[in-house]
Amino acid sequence: MQQQKIDIIQDGEEIPQNLVTKYGLSGRDFTYFYSDKKEKNVYYSNFVGLIRSGQDDSILFSMPKHYMNKDKFLNLDLTHQYQIIKSITKSINKAIDISQFTRYKHNTDVVGTFSFESYHQICNYYQTYGLYRNLGNYYKKGSGRHISWKKTISLSNEYFIDGKLMIIPFVTKKKLKLTNIITDCMIFVLNYTQAMYGNFIEVYPAPELIEYGINPKILENVDGIIEQLFQIKTRIFKDKEKQLIDNLIIFLKRVNSKSKKVSQAIKDYNYEHVWEKAVEEYLNIHFDDVKDEQLIFSKKVLNKYHFKKISSNYDKNNEKRRLEPDHYYFNKKSKSLYIFDSKYYIKIDDLNHKQLVYHFLFGNKEQAKKIYDALIVPYEGPTMTEVHVNILSEFLKDNQKVKIYLCKLNSNSVIKEFIK
The 3-class secondary structure across 339-369, one letter per residue, is EEEECCCCCCCCCCHHHHHHHHHHHHHHCCC
Task: Kindly tell me the burial class for residue 233, based on how many C-beta atoms sit within 10 Å of its own C-beta (0-12, 13-18, 19 or more).
Answer: middle
The C-alpha atoms of residue 213 and residue 322 are separated, in whole angstroms, by: 53
Alpha-carbon Rg for the chain in angstroms? 29
Q: Is 30 helix (H, G, I), strand (E, B) or coil?
A: strand
List the one residue out of 48, 52, 90 whose CA is nearest residue 65. 48
In angstroms, the Cα distances linking 328 to 179, 295, 308, 367, 391 are 52, 15, 5, 15, 21
Phi, psi of 263 (to 5 degrees): -65, 135
- What pLDDT is attached to residue 138? 46
What's the pLDDT score for residue 176? 47
CA 383 vs. chain centroid, Å, equals 25
pLDDT (tens digit per residue) in 259-309:
445 568 999 999 999 999 999 999 999 999 999 999 999 999 999 999 999
Tens-digit pLDDT profile for residues 32-75: 999 998 899 999 999 999 998 877 879 999 999 999 999 999 99
The letter for the amino acid at 141 is K
The pLDDT assigned to 264 comes to: 81
Query: Which residue ranges of the chain lie beneath pLDDT 70?
Result: 1-3, 101, 103, 134-168, 170-171, 173-179, 256-263
Among candidate residues 268, 266, 264, the one with its CA nearest the CA of residue 52: 264
CA dist 24 and 53 (Å) reads 9
DSSP tally for the chain: helices H, then strands E:
12, 21
In whole angstroms, give the CA distance from residue 225 to residue 228: 5
- The domain limits of the chain are 114-133+179-261, 134-178, 271-418
Q: How far is CA 209 from the centre of its chain?
A: 25
